[in-house]
Amino acid sequence: MPISKRTKKLAAVIACLLFVIVCIAACGKDDDPDLNDPLLTSSDAADTPEPADTPPEETARPPEPSDTSSSAPPSPSPSAPELVLVPYDGVVEHLFFHEVIAYPELAFNGNAMEKGYDDNMVTVSEYNKMLESMYANGYILVDMNDVWSEYSNDDWQRRMKKNTLMLPEGKKPLILSFDDISFYEYMRGDGFMEKLIIGEDGDIWATGYDPAGNLVVSQDYTVVTILDKFIKEHPDFSLGGVKGCIALTGYEGILGYRTQYDKNDDSNEFRLNRMKEIALVRPVIQRLKETGWYFATHSYGHINLHNASLNGVMNDAQRWLDEVGSLVGETKLFIYPFGSRLDGDDVNKTGPAFKYYQELGFRIFASVGIEPYVKIKSDIAAVICDRMHADGITLRKSRDSYMKFYDAKEVFDPMRKDKYGKSW
């Protein structure tokens, strides 16, 4: 009997099925290369039958810490709580320091400079305690440049205005500024560090000498490096990584480098050394700016602006721009030397010296006072303000005024001499 076409098709289907069964059986062998593939994920392995000779307890053992080929990705860590920023339009406190005394036994040794150091400086111990107290009292560091801004009024006149700051809830804004961070020659051997440098780790360090004359390279003995370390440990003490304002003169260079021009010494040796110092300080300036520091002028020669002539003011300003501004970059901040005001009275008048500095691009002019004070000038784009001074004078005589920051009784360094007295 002849085979029908339907029967032929059925036979072909059966043959195909037998071939598939044979292939599947071959794929189930123990020498399947996929089962030994180091890129096989743990979830893939769970879906694949284990070889019969593998003990069950071995399959449940987690991978060794060093074996990441078959481990599942780590569970995501809990997200940090979102920082809540709220508008702030209140008082912005401003406190300033000079360089700290690293070794009080050298500064307070009865020499001719002792009283000046006691009046104008704080020690490392005091500075550390002050920072701790300001942090505990809820302050957060802000950039002076962010507090006021320039705008055009309805008459197209340029003026200044106070900005609304956005701060973490419960925080109070604080500006810190630091005068005369040049490590002047008169300070050598009197218990101060001598220069800021960049360490092998890329951070700012300082060099100097201890009382035994040994070279010291440390981050524990200058206003800059101590604040750097403190903010690294307490990042919520700073808004966006802000540190402080460094107010520089120029007559003995900056930051410990002798970058000044000397009209009385035009020798090749002096000029080559100056060029070397300028080359060395540039990366230090850059690193400071990268890590939250910013700069202001403190005049070139630390001149008394109260009675300086207009010509003297102009010459001093131009020299600062040439020798210091060319290194640190543009700034709109002017920190008055001695706290003395341009033209003798910038509050009630806008004199020629004030106008000259404003025309150079300066907008914020800071003096010294015993409480927060701000006046936005109505006739020109400028702000004048006061800074409170953190130093030996106020530690000894103004405890109550500074209690919002720190308690003088608690931070006072016993290395200070009793002969200068105190009011508490």
The answer to whether position 208 is within a domain reads: yes
Tell me which residue range forms the domain holding 290: 94-420
Cα separation, 23 vs 7, in Å, equals 25
The answer to whether position 17 is within a domain reads: no
The answer to whether position 9 is within a domain reads: no
The answer to whether position 4 is within a domain reads: no
- pLDDT tens per residue across span 295-311: 999 999 999 998 899 99
- pLDDT tens per residue across span 188-205: 999 999 999 999 999 999
State the 10-residue block means of pLDDT for the chain, 424 residues long. 46 48 43 34 35 37 34 45 89 98 97 96 98 98 98 94 97 98 96 97 97 97 98 97 98 97 89 96 98 98 93 97 98 96 93 96 96 95 97 98 98 96 96
Closest C-alpha among 206, 179, 196 to residue 283: 196
Structural contact between residues 225 and 201, judged by C-beta atoms closer than 8 angstroms: no
Cα separation, 408 vs 402, in Å, equals 8
The answer to whether position 19 is within a domain reads: no
The answer to whether position 58 is within a domain reads: no
Q: 347-353: which pairs have CB atoms within 8 A and are 24 or more residues apart?
A: 347/375, 347/384, 350/377, 350/379, 350/380, 350/382, 352/310, 353/305, 353/308, 353/310, 353/313
pTM of the model: 0.81
What is the count of structural domains for the chain? 1
pLDDT of 80: 55
pLDDT of 81: 65
The answer to whether position 71 is within a domain reads: no
Assign residue 109 the CATH number of its domain.
3.20.20.370
- pLDDT tens per residue across span 42-92: 333 333 333 334 333 333 333 333 333 333 444 444 555 678 999 999 999
Do strands 383-389 and 93-97 pair parallel, antiparallel, or not at all (unpaired)?
parallel
Burial class (CB in 10 A: 0-12, 13-18, 19+), 64: exposed
Under DSSP, is residue 67 helix (H, G, I), strand (E, B) or coil? coil
The answer to whether position 151 is within a domain reads: yes
